[in-house]
């Protein structure tokens, strides 16, 4: 039943940190809602704002972009760009009255299994509050 | 006026037939108008109608496309497409009264050096008679 | 800026006298587009070539324009010079200011200005040249021969070499149509003896793998790398790899049902030549009533008008049949009804003469009808001089032509080769590529290509072998055409306009991407696709839109 | 700042200057708006002195953003001999942005611009723009809002061409008695050396300009507020972009959209039928061609930094969507966040190509 | 002893060219020898080739270029085999290269030497219908693009005069008066002979008036008349320059005497009819045939197409050509299919003489140690028409018997296969 | 030919929707591609629907055609056939464009059926967007007159507004003797079977309808001929042509909204044309004294003509999308008619007939080549 009421979150996880962190959460048998479906990318900087928009317009209740902490990027500085891009997306969301609660940028390192669980749990709870993404039902997009 | 007019004619020649014919005309010391400058293409089908229109708008006085005779194409059927494309182009230019007479499609085989000379001479004379392409010195149209 | 070097060849007096090269050099210098201009008496001479290499290296030119003679004369020469100068040979443009300028323009000033225009165009063009590399692919020297008739057998024998395997695939038994033959013309030797010798030879050659009672399900790939799926006699599917394919699937005799006047299918003793041939191999010639015929008529050119072509072998074959009958049956009367004797071999007139000497009659007709009057077959015929006559006969042999094997269409589709208007495989070029097809690496031999005598079929088999032995050499890589086309993946929208017009099937739609792709092994580089493509996604190497328009813009300056 | 005044109309003043430059071979050609055939206007590249008589540099019509046109010209290589380019401030700013993005080169270009009074929507052309010119110039002089102008011009605060070499004072100036010319840069001075024996002193800023700026700002705030973008949400976006027909004209006219092949026209943006089938199942109905809202949002992520608010996009929209106003408003927010003014300073890097270690802590967890 | 992998090809017509190209493509060194000063054989004499009416030069020229550009092929013009020894896999061949008197290396083919030469002689390539100088190129566009001096006619040769006109005109020092015939010896593993054919000189058949009446042409003469690069630049005209209003085409000239059908004549005469109808408005064309031999795909269609354009086809016997009146006109007397005597008046007659081996075939046959057949063509095995009785020596093209171009090509390709096969490592 | 005449149910669109509804109910289709008013009300777009509820808001024959239906179908099937059985409800020119696109592999027709409607033409989109309500009323008048100055100019000169030359499956006739009826006309076997499935027997005589179509056709043909002869003068010569196109601002909107112009990247926006050295511009400027920017306006239009005039279905989308009101569609219609006649080709008429430029005949068009003997 939970399945149906659970928000659906698309998670872009960088390979080196966040994805490993997520794995660690699993290995550690930590529990969290089954709301997030991960997409692994080499670096969070691969996440084109277009992807976030597409996921959002496609009806995802939430989009999580997650990479190494600033300064830890496997590719030197990728995540700084991620941040700037995400900022742009967020400004657009804000300006156009789109729900910024649905997009989220989190830094999760390879050792932060627990943090991953926390982020996802919190994001999920948050999304439960704001409800289903109404875009899903729109036909005139 | 007409006497001083030296047209600028572009000739697209296919590598296998017409270019060879042009060479033959040269080695047979046949006269070919100096107003013709040639561009070698592998097959007459390589000549895109858009290029011809472009040449015209830029002020080319004449454009000649020459390839192998139908049926002789080095690439089987290329020149049949050339012909259709040319016909289409010609029709467009004709309909818009854009000097269709400035464009010509000729089939000239490798042995027809003489014909090459004749066709180009005749064409050059024809173009000379037509006079300069009015678009050559016309600003703001291209 | 790239360093372009311009070389002006005087060609002795040929260019120097007709064109003011100094003036050209002066103008080009003013344009300030080349890094250096050099003039030479004769660039194609040994001395000239040495000069070029040294000069190019010294000046560190990156691209070269040579104004000299026709590319037909010395493009290759100068491309070699480019290579010796450690430059890519395609970073070069040859301007033809001799044949197409100096020699055809008596007025020096006009010639000079034309040459200048052409040289400027070349300089502008060469700036946009790309370095092209000679491409090579690995290839498989092995051969697939489809069809185990005499043509296929010969093709297999001729291609089988130490380092080359041959897969010979036959739907029934080796030997094909020849297995039904009694004698061969013009030698009149027993066909089976001849055939068996050949089959033994096939079996003794270690390099030929024979698949009898087998079918070719599919052939994929292209020149140098074909994969065929064969269903063998046990209905197992076997995959074989080869670099080339010879289609020797033969032809069928025309069956004249529907041509009522010949009485075929209406009267008992009317046979086609092919049917009669079976009788000869069983050595038993009788009419339906069981008696040997007393008179036999052989009618030529049956169905020729309908087929629209002369099958070339039937006249001689009819004579062979006539002679056979005459030899076998004492006192039999044999009459040949013909329209035109087609005897296209230096031996055939003699064969005809001998046939006549055996007492076989020849009668030219303009119209004929087989009828029956009171249990007796009657031939009613009209001669050329409009005389009409009738002749009672016991047996009629209809000499019919050859029609394509019904499988022709299937193979044509499988391998992207067209069929001609009669339904035979269409050769690449009637005169120069009679056994080649537009699909490189696929050859057609024997009657699959059109009606042929056994001798001619065997020569064709040998010819296919020649093409294969010369182009696919064991241990050598296949060199591809350089000036091919390619399709820009980002720009292509997959409309297939280029696919439709390519004569070589070099372009196909990649269904997963829904865009078109060029098979560079098949592309021969005409550039038709580049013109057909409205957006310019199909691009012709060394004749790119950019290169051509850049040439144009200078000419029209 | 050196300045001088020519007792002629702005257009004739520009002609004088250009003729001087051409005659003295200081430049080889001119890039300016001209009257072409049939009383139409277009940007032109002129080498022939005779044709100078055709130019109409201040004619209030922008049929294409000149920044984009100069980018076409200098995309591959800089021009080899000097060209005098007459263009509007927003066009110059667009060009500077394109230079940063390697889409144009400035070498050998001399920029002549003016304090801009704005342009009419291109559609005005057929409604008799000529008849409105008188009123237009009156309003330019006073700096009053003129409601027939492009919305983007009416709300434009950046009408002073900070980066031009030579500036004509139009907006807020009485041009009846002649046109003041300011020589803003050394380069400008070099080119104009010899045009006058003596120069006056002049200044770019004045209270009139401030007043105009103030008026425009006011109007902008009002326009932006009226737009109520914050209340859009997805419904609002659909309402405004629902009539978009995916022609992408806005992107083609936009000087900031410089891609060779737009993502939204590329194979990457195409969907397989199966994708549509999934969507159809999900939503019971889908719009075809799809992706209108997506397109505009996506384009915003691409041009948000660079948008100079020239208004071309609104003008070319065949379904009258106020693209420019929306984009300007969203872009303003983005540009503020990054403290970036497009086209202002060549040395200032495009925000997307740099970063700081500590910033935007509000967007990350 | 290791096999020699090199290949000798004798005769550089279509067959020789094709065989050489295939052999060279396989990586073999090829010696291609040609008796004439140019190469290309009979094929380059045609304007067009039936039934598709393709331009012959356009077909051949790319192949000729390939020969000249191929590093594996050594083309020797003006050359002849003088001796051969050894056996399959290891032949030793002596070749005499006749002096060209013009350097193949230095000459650039500008033709500056022609004009000053004082000698005028018949142009053999043009069937003696035009003149050439003693320093000559067979025809415009002939390859290699280097002239030769015919010392028999050159003043220096025959009259021992000190003429240096051509040498003076040459700016490249390409004229070598003291050029000598050169004998070379090569070793090859296989030999392909492709020496081709010639048309019989029909003078022996008096009834056709060839040699007697100036407007009786043989097939090659007519072909050159129609050739764009020929003596009349492609204008079909009688000897006195008039446009013929009627043409008679005579098939099977000498066939009965000779004893075989030359296979190609019916078709090329049909092509001639096509030529005439194509460029001579209102011309009447008569074809006089005995048996129509139009095998091969496409030929019958072509024949009917041409016929429909207005050719009168007559099956005729006892043809005789006589003078018609006082002018250059001709009359053809014949017996029609109804055995009635009839006649037509024509302005021009074109004969299709039988195809015979190229002169010297017998001599070469002896040198090569291979037999000749009844008619003087090289003899080949039954059902193996490229193999001679001597292992390692193969035949291609019309040297084996008359044939269509496509069969020439196929034979050449098949012969190449054999040569490649036996010289395999 | 026989059809089924059925009475109107309150209005035209609703009656057509009833038919569509029964087809959906009988499971003949998985989805319907049909125009629908956008939420803001001032325009229309195509919707692919598989739910009857959405049918309510649909308008099978909307007064405007902001998106040419072929573009909608192309969007759906460009990358391959859809597994859904789809009924496309479109104007004849949209269907013909879709057929053309299928020849260019931009539309996959498998599983696609067409329902065409007698088309009175489409209003100018911008006008409609300005005043949707008034325009709706205006369109009612158009339905009466079958010609109007408010229509796209090419709609007034359209001769393929009915079923002829449009290979749809079911045609809806609305030009009847009886104004309060529509006519269902099965065009293909498939159409026949479909009507059969919803128990519609096509036994009604349609000759009176045909007469009406003929009358309107005559009217439109006259208008077309007038328009063409006007255009003949207006387009004659470079000068005139330039005048016609001189308003063009090179936005390429005409190409973008054109259903036939299908290139991913237009040649005139490709590197070959756009990414060129400054010098190229200067050479041209030198030659002519001055050039326009953006360059190549006329070349663009002529080039586009050479690329797609053979397939032009005269839908008028280009002119509708032009921000400068250049009479593009009228010019294309005129030149398209001319070149199509040259090859005896009606674009979109026959699914199996190749576009003339993609095929050839050995023996043809000799008037365009030099005669051989010359």
Chain D residues touching A103 at Cβ < 8 A = none
Average pLDDT for E368-382: 92
D124/E11: higher pLDDT: E11
Q: How far apart are CA E123 and CA E104, in angstroms?
A: 21
pLDDT of residue B1: 42
Percent of chain C residues topping a pLDDT of 70: 100
Substitution target in D35, D37, D39, D52 with the highest count of B β-carbons within 10 Å is: D37
State phi, psi for D181 to the nearest 5 degrees.
Answer: -120, 130
F223 CA: distance to closest CA in chain C (Å)? 32
User: What percent of chain C is predicted at pLDDT more than 90?
Assistant: 77
Give me the sign of the Cα torsion angle E32, E35, E41, E45: positive
- Closest residue by Cα to residue E191 from E407, E373, E16: E16
**Inter-chain contact C14–E112, Cβ cutoff 8 Å?**
yes
* DSSP reduced 3-state for C485: strand
Q: Do chains A and E touch (3 or more CB pairs under 8 A)?
A: no
Residue C281 has pLDDT above 80, yes or no: no
F373, closest residue in chain E (CA to CA): E279
pLDDT on residue A4: 63
β strands within E53-142, DSSP E: 54-55, 73-76, 79-87, 90-97, 121-122, 131-132, 135-136
Over 60: is that where the pLDDT of F221 sits?
A: yes
Best mutation target among D35, D75, D274, D288 (most F Cβ atoms within 10 Å) is: D288
Cβ–Cβ gap D298/A53 under 8 Å:
yes
Q: pLDDT tens digit string along C165-212?
A: 999 999 999 999 999 998 999 999 999 999 999 999 999 988 999 999
Candidate from B26, B46, B74 with C-beta closest to C99: B26
**What residues have CB less than 8 Å from C543, skipping those under 6 apart?**
B41, B42, B46, C483, C527, C530
- The subunits that touch chain B, with at least 3 C-beta pairs less than 8 Å apart, are C, D, E, F
Mean pLDDT over the full length of chain C: 93
3-state secondary structure of D6: strand
Q: How many angstroms separate the CA of residue B57 from the nearest CA in chain E? A: 34
Residue F371: the pLDDT is 65
Query: Is E160 in the C-facing interface, judged by CB distances under 8 Å?
Result: no
pLDDT average, residue stretch E58-73: 92
Decide if E55 touches F, using CB distance below 8 A.
Answer: no
Of E53, E58, E234, the CB nearest to B17: E58
Both structure tokens of D172: 């807020």
- Judged by a CB distance cut-off of 8 A, whether residue B105 touches chain C is no
- Report the residue from F104, F276, F354 with minimal CB separation from C495: F104
- Lookup: tokens for A82: 């991620």
Q: What ipTM, to 2 d.p.?
A: 0.84
pLDDT in tens, chain B (142 residues): 446 898 999 999 999 999 999 999 998 899 999 999 999 999 999 999 999 999 999 899 999 999 999 989 999 899 999 999 999 999 999 999 999 999 999 999 999 999 999 999 999 999 999 999 999 888 888 7
What gap in Å lies between CA E296 and CA E49, rounded to an integer? 14
CA dihedral angle for residue F356, residue F359, residue F365, residue F370, rounded to 10 degrees = 130
Nearest to C500 among F271, F284, F358 (CB): F358
Query: Looking at beta carbons, which residues of chain B come within 8 Å of D46?
Result: 139
Encode pLDDT of C44-82 as tens digits. Answer: 999 999 999 999 999 999 999 999 998 888 999 999 999
Q: How far is CA B31 from CA B35, B130, C101, C477, in A?
A: 12, 21, 9, 46
E253 and E202 Cβ atoms separated by less than 8 Å:
yes
Provide mean pLDDT across the span C492-500.
88
Q: What is the pLDDT of residue F373?
A: 41
Banded model confidence at residue F311, pLDDT cuts 50, 70, 90: very high
pLDDT band, very low/low/confident/very high, at F374 (cuts 50, 70, 90): very low
Q: Which token pair is E232? A: 């009349």
Give pLDDT, residue A1.
41
B139 close to D (CB below 8 A): yes
CA angle, corner C281, sides to C276 and C287, nearest 5?
A: 40
Of A97, A106, A141, the CB nearest to D233: A97
Q: What token pair was written down for F353? A: 């007939």
Distance CA C398, CA D69 (A): 80
What residues have CB less than 8 Å from C245, skipping those under 6 apart? C143, C144, C145, C146, C219, C226, C228, C415, C441, C442, C443
Q: Hey, are the CB atoms on B59 and C531 less than 8 Å from each other?
A: no
Residues of C in contact with F265 (CB under 8 A): 490-491, 535-537
What is the nearest CA distance from F64 to chain D, expressed in angstroms?
Answer: 12
CB distance from B140 to chain D under 8 Å?
yes
The predicted structure's pLDDT at residue B2: 45
CB contact under 8 A, E55 and B29: no
Give the gap in angstroms from C-alpha F280 to the nearest C-alpha of chain C: 7
CB contact under 8 A, C515 and D261: no
| Contact state of B83 with F334 under an 8 Å Cβ cutoff | no
Residues A104 and A67: beta-carbon distance below 8 Å: no
Closest CA to C343 of E243, E303, E401, A4: E401
Angle in degrees, 0-180, between the axes of helices F297-308 and F328-342, rounded to the nearest 10: 40
When pLDDT is cut at 50, 70 and 90, the band that residue E246 belongs to is very high
Among E410, E412, E416, E424, pick the best mutation site for testing chain C contact (most C Cβ within 10 A).
E410
Contacts of C497 in chain F (CB under 8 A): 104, 357-358
- Which conformational region is residue D62 in: left (phi greater than 0), alpha (psi within -120 to 50 degrees), or beta? beta
Phi and psi at residue A18, in whole multiples of 5°?
-65, -40
Mean pLDDT of E10-39: 97
Neighbours of chain C (3+ CB pairs under 8 A): B, D, E, F
Q: What average pLDDT does this structure show over F232-236? A: 93
Q: Do A137 and D298 touch (CB under 8 A)?
A: no
In order of C9, E15, F341, the CA distances from C33 in angstroms are 19, 49, 48
Nearest CA to D185 out of D72, D95, D109 is that of D109
pLDDT band at A3 (very low <50, low <70, confident <90, very high): low
pLDDT in tens, F147-178: 999 999 999 999 999 999 999 999 999 988 77
Is the pLDDT score of E158 beyond 80?
Answer: no
- Asked if E399 and E419 count as a contact pair (C-beta separation under 8 A), the reply is no
Chains D, C in contact: 3+ Cβ pairs under 8 A?
yes
Phi (first) and psi of residue F222, to 5 degrees? -60, -45
The low-confidence residues of chain D, meaning pLDDT below 50, are none
Chains that touch E (3 or more CB pairs under 8 A): B, C, F
Flag whether residue F372 sits within 8 Å of chain E, measured between CB atoms.
yes
Calpha distance C338→C331 (Å, rounded): 22
Share of chain F above pLDDT 70, in %: 99
Mutate to test the interface with C, among B5, B12, B46 (most CBs of C within 10 A): B46
* C-chain residue closest to B51, CA distance: C549
Structure tokens at E120: 């005028």
What is the signed CA dihedral for C380, C385, C386, C389, rounded to 10 degrees?
-30
Q: What is the dihedral of CA E279, E285, E291, E294, to 10 degrees?
A: 20
Helices (H), F147-236: 153-156, 189-197, 207-234
d(CA F114, CA F90): 7
User: What is the average pLDDT across A121-131?
Assistant: 94
User: Cβ of C374: how many Cβ atoms within 10 Å?
Assistant: 5
């Amino acid at each position: 039943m939970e399945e149906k009421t659970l928000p659906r979150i698309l998670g872009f996880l960088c390979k080196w940190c966040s994805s490993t962190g997520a794995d660690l959460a699993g290995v550690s048998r930590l529990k969290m809602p089954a709301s997030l479906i991960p997409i692994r990318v080499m670096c969070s900087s691969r996440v084109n704002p277009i992807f976030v928009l597409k996921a959002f317009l496609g009806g995802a209740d939430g989009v999580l972009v997650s990479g190494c902490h600033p300064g830890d990027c496997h590719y030197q500085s990728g995540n700084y760009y991620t941040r700037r891009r995400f900022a742009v997306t967020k400004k657009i969301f804000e300006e156009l009255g789109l729900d910024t609660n649905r997009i989220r940028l989190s830094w999760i390192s390879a050792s932060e299994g627990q943090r991953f669980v926390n982020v996802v749990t919190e994001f999920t709870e948050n999304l439960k509050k704001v409800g289903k993404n109404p875009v899903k039902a729109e036909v005139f997009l | 006026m007409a006497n001083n007019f030296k047209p600028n004619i572009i000739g697209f020649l296919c590598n296998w037939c017409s270019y060879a014919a042009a060479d033959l005309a040269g080695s047979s010391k046949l006269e070919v108008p100096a107003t013709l400058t040639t561009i070698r293409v592998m097959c007459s089908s390589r000549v895109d109608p858009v290029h011809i229109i472009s040449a015209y708008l830029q002020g080319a006085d004449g454009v000649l496309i020459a390839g192998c005779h139908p049926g002789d194409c080095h690439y089987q059927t290329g020149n049949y497409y050339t012909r259709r494309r040319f016909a289409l182009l010609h029709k467009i230019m004709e309909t818009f009264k854009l000097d269709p007479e400035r464009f010509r499609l000729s089939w000239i085989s490798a042995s027809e050096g003489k014909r090459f000379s004749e066709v180009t001479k005749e064409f050059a004379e024809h173009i000379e008679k037509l006079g300069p392409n009015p678009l050559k010195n016309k600003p703001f149209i291209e | 800026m790239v360093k372009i070097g311009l070389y002006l060849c005087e060609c002795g007096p040929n260019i120097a006298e007709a064109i003011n090269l100094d003036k050209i050099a002066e103008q080009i210098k003013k344009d300030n587009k080349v890094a250096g201009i050099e003039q030479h008496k004769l660039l194609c001479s040994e001395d000239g070539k040495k000069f070029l290499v040294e000069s190019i290296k010294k000046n560190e030119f990156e691209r070269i324009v040579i104004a000299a003679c026709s590319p037909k004369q010395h493009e290759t020469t100068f491309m070699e010079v480019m290579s010796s100068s450690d430059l890519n040979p395609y970073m070069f443009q040859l301007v033809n200011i001799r044949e197409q300028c100096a020699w055809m323009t008596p007025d020096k000033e006009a010639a000079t200005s034309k040459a200048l225009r052409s040289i400027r165009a070349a300089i502008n063009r060469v700036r946009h040249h790309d370095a092209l590399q000679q491409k090579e692919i690995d290839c498989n020297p092995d051969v697939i021969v489809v069809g185990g008739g005499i043509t296929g057998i010969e093709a297999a024998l001729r291609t089988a070499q130490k380092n080359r395997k041959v897969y010979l695939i036959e739907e029934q038994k080796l030997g094909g149509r020849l297995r039904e033959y009694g004698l061969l013309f013009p030698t009149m030797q027993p066909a089976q003896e001849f055939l068996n010798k050949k089959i033994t030879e096939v079996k003794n050659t270690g390099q030929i793998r024979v698949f009898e009672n087998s079918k070719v399900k599919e052939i994929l790939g292209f020149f140098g790398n074909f994969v065929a799926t064969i269903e063998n006699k046990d209905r197992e599917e076997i995959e074989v790899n080869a670099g080339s394919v010879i289609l020797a699937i033969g032809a069928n005799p025309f069956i004249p049902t529907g041509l009522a006047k010949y009485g075929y299918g209406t009267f008992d003793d009317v046979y086609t030549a092919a049917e009669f041939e079976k009788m000869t191999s069983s050595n038993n010639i009788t009419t339906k009533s069981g008696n040997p015929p007393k008179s036999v008529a052989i009618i030529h050119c049956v169905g020729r008008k309908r087929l629209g072509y002369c099958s070339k072998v039937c006249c001689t074959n009819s004579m062979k049949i006539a002679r056979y009958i005459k030899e076998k049956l004492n006192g039999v009367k044999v009459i040949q009804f013909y329209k035109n004797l087609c005897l296209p071999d230096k031996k055939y007139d003699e064969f005809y003469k001998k046939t006549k000497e055996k007492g076989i009659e020849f009668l030219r007709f303009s119209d004929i009808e087989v009828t029956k009057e009171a249990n007796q077959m009657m031939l009613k015929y009209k001669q050329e001089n409009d005389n009409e006559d009738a002749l009672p006969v016991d047996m009629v042999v209809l000499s019919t032509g050859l029609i394509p094997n019904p499988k022709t269409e299937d193979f044509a589709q499988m391998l992207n080769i067209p069929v001609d208007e009669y339904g035979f495989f269409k050769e690449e070029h009637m005169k120069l590529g009679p056994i080649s097809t537009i699909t490189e690496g696929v050859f057609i031999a024997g009657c699959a290509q059109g009606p042929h005598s056994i001798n001619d079929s065997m020569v064709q088999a040998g010819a296919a072998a020649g093409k294969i032995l010369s182009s696919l050499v064991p241990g050598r890589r296949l060199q591809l055409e350089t000036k091919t086309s390619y399709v820009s993946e980002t720009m292509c929208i997959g409309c297939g306009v280029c696919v439709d017009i390519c004569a070589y099937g070099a372009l196909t739609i990649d269904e997963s991407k829904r865009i078109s792709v060029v098979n560079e092994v098949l592309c021969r580089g005409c550039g038709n696709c580049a013109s057909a493509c409205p957006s310019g996604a199909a691009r012709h190497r060394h004749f790119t839109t950019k290169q051509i328009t850049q040439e144009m813009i200078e000419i029209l300056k | 700042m050196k300045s001088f005044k020519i007792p002629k109309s702005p257009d004739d003043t520009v002609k004088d200057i250009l003729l001087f430059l051409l005659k003295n071979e200081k430049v080889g050609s001119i890039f300016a708006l001209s009257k072409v055939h049939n009383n139409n206007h277009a940007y032109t590249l002129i080498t022939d002195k005779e044709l100078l008589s055709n130019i109409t540099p201040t004619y209030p019509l922008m049929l294409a953003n000149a920044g984009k046109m100069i980018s076409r010209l200098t995309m591959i290589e800089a021009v080899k001999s000097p060209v005098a380019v007459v263009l509007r401030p927003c066009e110059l700013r667009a060009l500077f942005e394109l230079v940063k993005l390697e889409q144009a080169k400035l070498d050998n270009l001399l920029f002549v611009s003016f304090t801009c009074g704005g342009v009419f929507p291109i559609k005005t052309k057929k409604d008799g723009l000529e008849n409105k010119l008188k009123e237009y110039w009156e309003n330019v002089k006073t700096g009053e809002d003129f409601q027939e102008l492009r919305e983007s011009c009416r709300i434009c605060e950046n009408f002073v061409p900070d980066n031009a070499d030579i500036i004509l004072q139009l907006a807020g100036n009485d041009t009846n008695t002649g046109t003041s010319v300011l020589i803003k840069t050394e380069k400008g001075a070099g080119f104009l050396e010899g045009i006058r024996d003596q120069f006056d002193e002049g200044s770019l800023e004045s209270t009139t300009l401030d007043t105009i700026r103030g008026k425009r700002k006011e109007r902008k705030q009002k326009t932006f507020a009226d737009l109520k973008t914050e209340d859009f949400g997805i419904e609002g976006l659909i309402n405004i972009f629902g009539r978009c027909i995916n022609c992408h004209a806005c992107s083609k006219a936009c000087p900031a959209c410089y891609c060779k092949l737009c993502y939204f026209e590329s194979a990457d943006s195409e969907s397989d039928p199966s994708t549509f089938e999934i969507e159809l199942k999900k939503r019971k109905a889908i719009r075809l061609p799809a992706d209108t809202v997506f397109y505009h949002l996506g384009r915003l992520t691409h041009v948000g930094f660079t948008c100079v608010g020239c208004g071309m996009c609104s003008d070319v929209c065949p379904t009258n969507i106020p693209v420019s106003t929306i984009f300007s408003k969203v872009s303003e927010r983005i540009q503020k966040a990054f403290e970036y003014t497009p086209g202002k300073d060549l040395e200032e890097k495009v925000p997307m190509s740099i970063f700081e270690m500590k910033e935007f802590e509000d967007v990350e967890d | 002893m290791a096999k020699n992998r090199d290949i000798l090809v004798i005769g550089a017509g279509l067959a020789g060219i094709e065989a050489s190209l295939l052999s060279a493509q396989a990586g073999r060194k090829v010696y291609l020898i040609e008796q004439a000063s140019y190469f290309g054989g009979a094929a380059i004499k045609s304007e067009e080739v039936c039934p598709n009416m393709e331009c012959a030069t356009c077909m051949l020229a790319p192949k000729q270029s390939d020969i000249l550009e191929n590093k594996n092929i050594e083309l020797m013009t003006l050359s002849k085999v003088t001796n051969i020894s050894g056996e399959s896999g290891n032949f030793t061949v002596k070749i005499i290269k006749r002096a060209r008197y013009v350097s193949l290396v230095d000459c650039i083919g500008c033709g500056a030497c022609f004009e000053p030469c004082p000698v005028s002689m018949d142009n053999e390539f043009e069937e003696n219908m035009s003149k050439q100088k003693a320093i000559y190129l067979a025809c415009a566009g002939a390859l290699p693009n280097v002239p030769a001096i015919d010392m028999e006619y050159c003043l220096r040769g025959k009259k021992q005069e000190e003429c240096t006109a051509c040498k003076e005109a040459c700016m490249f020092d390409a004229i070598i008066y003291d050029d000598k015939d050169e004998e070379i010896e090569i070793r090859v593993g296989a030999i392909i002979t492709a020496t081709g054919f010639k048309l019989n000189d029909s003078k022996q058949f008096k009834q056709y008036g060839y040699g007697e009446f100036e407007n009786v042409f043989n097939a090659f003469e007519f072909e050159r008349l129609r050739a764009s690069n020929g003596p009349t630049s492609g204008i079909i005209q009688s000897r006195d320059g008039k446009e013929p209003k009627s043409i008679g085409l005579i098939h099977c000239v000498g066939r009965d005497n000779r004893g075989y059908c030359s296979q190609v004549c019916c078709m090329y005469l049909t092509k001639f009819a096509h030529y005439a109808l194509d460029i001579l408005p209102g011309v009447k064309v008569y074809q006089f045939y005995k048996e129509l031999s139009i095998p091969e795909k496409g030929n019958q269609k072509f024949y009917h197409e041409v016929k429909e354009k207005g050719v009168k086809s007559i099956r005729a016997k006892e043809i005789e050509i006589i003078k018609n009146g006082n002018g250059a006109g001709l009359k053809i007397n014949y017996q029609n299919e109804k055995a009635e005597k009839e006649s037509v008046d024509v302005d021009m007659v074109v004969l299709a003489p039988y195809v015979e081996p190229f002169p010297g075939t017998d001599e070469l046959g002896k040198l090569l140690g291979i037999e000749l057949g009844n008619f003087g063509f090289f003899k080949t095995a039954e059902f193996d028409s490229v193999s001679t009785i001597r292992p390692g020596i193969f035949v291609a093209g019309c040297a084996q018997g008359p044939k269509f171009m496509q069969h020439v090509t196929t034979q050449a390709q098949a012969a190449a296969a054999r040569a490649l096969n036996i010289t395999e490592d | 030919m026989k059809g089924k005449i059925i009475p109107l149910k309150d209005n035209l669109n609703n009656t057509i929707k009833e038919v569509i509804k029964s087809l959906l109910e009988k499971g003949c289709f998985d989805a319907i591609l049909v125009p629908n008013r956008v939420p803001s009300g001032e325009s229309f777009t195509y919707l692919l629907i598989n739910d009857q509820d959405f049918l309510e808001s649909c308008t099978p024959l909307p007064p405007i055609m902001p998106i040419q239906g072929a573009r909608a179908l192309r969007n759906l099937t460009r990358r391959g056939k859809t597994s859904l059985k789809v009924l496309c409800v479109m104007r004849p020119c949209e269907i013909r464009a879709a057929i053309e696109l299928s020849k260019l592999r931009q539309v996959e027709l498998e599983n696609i059926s067409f329902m065409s409607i007698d088309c009175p033409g489409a209003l100018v989109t911008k006008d409609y967007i300005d005043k949707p309500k008034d325009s709706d009323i205006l369109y009612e008048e158009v339905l009466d007159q079958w010609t109007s100055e408010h229509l796209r100019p090419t709609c007034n000169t359209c001769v393929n507004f009915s079923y002829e030359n449009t290979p749809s499956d079911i045609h809806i006739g609305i030009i009847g003797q009886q104004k309060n009826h529509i006519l269902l006309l099965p065009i293909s076997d498939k159409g026949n079977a479909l009507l059969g499935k919803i128990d519609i027997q096509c036994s009604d005589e349609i000759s009176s309808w045909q007469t009406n179509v003929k009358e309107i056709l005559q009217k439109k043909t006259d208008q077309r001929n007038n328009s063409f002869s006007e255009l003949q003068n207006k387009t004659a010569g470079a000068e005139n042509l330039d005048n016609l196109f001189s308003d063009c601002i090179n936005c390429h909107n005409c190409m973008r909204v054109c259903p036939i112009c299908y290139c991913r990247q237009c040649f005139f926006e490709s590197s070959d044309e756009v990414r060129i050295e400054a010098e190229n511009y200067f050479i041209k400027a030198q030659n002519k004294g001055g050039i326009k920017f953006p360059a190549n306006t006329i070349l663009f239009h002529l080039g586009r003509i050479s690329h797609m005039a053979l397939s032009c279905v005269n839908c008028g989308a280009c002119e509708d999308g032009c921000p400068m009101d250049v009479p593009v569609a009228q010019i294309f219609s005129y030149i398209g008619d001319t070149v199509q006649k040259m090859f005896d080709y009606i674009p979109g008429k026959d699914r199996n007939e190749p576009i003339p430029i993609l095929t050839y005949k050995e023996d043809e068009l000799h008037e365009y080549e030099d005669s051989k003997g010359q």
